Amino acid sequence: MASTLSKDEPQDPPAAEGRTFFGHPRGLATLFMTEMWERFSFYGMRALLVLYLTAAVTEGGMGMASATAVALYSVYNATVYLMAMPGGWLGDRVWGPRKTVAVSSFVIMIGHALLAVGVDALFFVGLVFIGVGSGLLKANISTMVGHLYQGPDDPRRDGGFTVFYMGINIGAFAAPLLIGWAGQKVSWHLGFGLAALGMGLGLIQFLIGTRHLPARSSVVPYPLSGEERNKAIRNTVLAAVVLALFYTAVVLAEAFTIDWVLWPLSIAGLVLPTWYFVRMRRDREVTAEEKKKLSAYIWFFVAAAIFWMIFDQSGSTLTLFAEKETSTDLWGINFPTSWFQSVNPLWVMTIAPVLAALWVKLGSRNPTTTTKFSMGLIGVGVSFGLMMLAMAAAAGDTKVSPLWLIFVYLLQTLAELCLSPVGLSVTTKLAPAKYASQLMGVWFLAVTAGDCVFAIVQLLVGDAASGKTGFAVQGVIAALAGVVFLAARNKIRPLMGSVK
């Protein structure tokens, strides 16, 4: 029965058992390729976004101030992950994961196409489409990866998420090279158009490859009752009307500025995850054991939020540092600034297979999830210490070597591989049965929370947030958080039950 299905029940055997994808169920290839194309479109657009916003109007850009563009970027990135929660809810209660991913892919494609039109109003509408579509896709496609394995104790599970993570980074690597070059060297809107094409290819591939996915991915685990459906529609319409009236009044009063969007979204990005944790813990259908696991998960959530606060600046403060303070000549090759966005995924593709093999080889000596999270926090903190030194070296008119940013991204990649794929996996292990997809949405809200904290700081202190002192403070906070998390491991582990 759909209403009683839980993630701990026996799952469908992997489709086409005689044929695997790097030793994993064949369906992983479908999800791998879908995520690869979605990330191609997203990271290609992201590589151009701040550069386009800050470029002079005479150069085809929007001419925004750097501080405003960075805050807008952070809030936009936060909103993308904020929408993972309603995406998870749709997967759990309305459409099921498979249909939700198909719909979301189409919405994302339309969003990128609107960016390519070249009309400012449609550009921001396109960003909304991409944000909504990405939220619908994220929680559900990761949940379907979990469906491929025989419960949370399947020894291939962590490795499967690492392979899936490779798909993300193949798309993220290729996107700036093609989309970034087209956007900076030919036309901003040609670059955005290529992002739309990439998502279109991803949608076609997903529709063809769904036959390799287990039947469970089409099931709605906890379908809405008629009364719940009517209530959801009523509340959605009411919220839309209230927002429309409020912003209409602000515009008519000639008081509207971008801050009227940035501040509410930044605050919502911090309030919403708190509300979801409270709601799940108070739900009577969540067992006492599941509530203990949720308590453990809050530790991982806070650690991830601190990590993403720093890591996600690769597309904003680090991009502006690359544009203004970094040479784009290396070994006689001149390249667009946006190509720096390919460095992190290149490091991931180089290092991830080595780390995945290392985790398997270590066996019982494999670092625990808490230890890996601590390593991720300390590593990303050290990367901003190096960034502070790079800014000092760029004093005056001197442009620093690109090797500075390349090594910053190396440190951040090592940290990311200790935290991000492991975080996806631990989310599926600690999730209450009723909230399997929604807790994956909460995992992505850690990105939202981190980005919103930085957006608020940027709005309050401006460019000082991304100066030498700002980098130093953030780096110290992350490293100290890693030490605290490691010290608390003996308190966290008992709450996790059998999950290691």
- C-alpha distances in Å from residue 239, one per residue of 25, 53, 243, 385: 42, 30, 6, 43
Question: 10 Å Cβ neighbour count for 169?
Answer: 25
CA angle 111, 116, 119 (to 5 degrees): 95
Rounded Cα distance, 44 and 132, in Å: 18
Higher pLDDT, 382 or 420: 382
15 pLDDT band, cuts 50/70/90, is very low
Closest by alpha carbon to 28, among 184, 148, 178, 203? 148
> How does pLDDT run across 322-338, given as a tens digit for each residue?
888 888 888 878 888 88
User: Burial, 199: exposed, middle or buried (Cβ in 10 Å; 0-12, 13-18, 19+)?
Assistant: buried
Rounded Cα distance, 31 and 39, in Å: 12
Higher pLDDT, 184 or 143: 184
CATH of the domain at 376: 1.20.1250.20
> How does pLDDT run across 71-92, given as a tens digit for each residue?
888 888 888 888 877 887 888 8
Closest by alpha carbon to 181, among 4, 328, 385? 328
Question: For the CA atoms of 426, 427, 431, 436, what is the dihedral angle to 10 degrees?
Answer: -130
The answer to whether position 187 is within a domain reads: yes
Q: Fill in the amino acid letter for 71.
A: A
The answer to whether position 228 is within a domain reads: no
The answer to whether position 237 is within a domain reads: no
Cα-Cα-Cα-Cα dihedral sign, residues 72, 74, 77, 81: negative
> How does pLDDT run across 251-276, given as a tens digit for each residue?
888 777 777 777 888 888 889 888 88
Q: Residue 333: enclosing H or E segment and its boundaries?
A: strand 333-334
How high is the pLDDT of residue 5? 32
The answer to whether position 5 is within a domain reads: no
Count structural domains, the chain: 1
The answer, yes or no, to whether residue 95 has pLDDT greater than 80, is yes
Q: Are residues 165 and 347 in contact, defined by beta-carbon separation less than 8 angstroms?
A: no
CA angle 401, 404, 405 (to 5 degrees): 110
**Mean pLDDT, all residues of the chain:** 83
195 pLDDT band, cuts 50/70/90, is very high
The answer, yes or no, to whether residue 12 has pLDDT greater than 60, is no
> How does pLDDT run across 424-467, given as a tens digit for each residue?
778 878 888 777 767 877 887 888 888 888 888 888 877 766 77
Quickly tell me which residue has 């492991």 as its tokens. 422
The answer to whether position 245 is within a domain reads: no
Q: Are residues 144 and 217 in contact, defined by beta-carbon separation less than 8 angstroms?
A: yes
Q: Residue 476: enclosing H or E segment and its boundaries?
A: helix 468-487
The answer to whether position 2 is within a domain reads: no
How high is the pLDDT of residue 14? 45
Rounded Cα distance, 169 and 164, in Å: 9
> Model-level pTM?
0.80
The number of CA neighbours under 13 Å toward the Cβ of 411 is: 22
Average pLDDT over residues 5-29: 57
- C-alpha distances in Å from residue 139, one per residue of 11, 54, 153, 290: 19, 32, 21, 20
Closest by alpha carbon to 61, among 101, 17, 108, 118? 118
Question: 10 Å Cβ neighbour count for 202?
Answer: 25
152 pLDDT band, cuts 50/70/90, is low
Closest by alpha carbon to 148, among 36, 12, 18, 1? 12
The answer to whether position 302 is within a domain reads: yes
Range of the domain at 283: 22-223+257-496
Quickly tell me which residue has 């980005």 as its tokens. 451
How high is the pLDDT of residue 22? 64
Query: Which two structure tokens, joined as six digits, stand for 462?
Result: 């401006």
The answer, yes or no, to whether residue 58 has pLDDT greater than 80, is yes
The answer to whether position 233 is within a domain reads: no
**118 phi-psi bin (left φ>0, alpha ψ -120 to 50, beta other):** left
What 8-state DSSP symbol labels residue 222?
A: S
Q: What SS3 class is residue 21?
A: strand
Q: Fill in the amino acid letter for 345.
A: P
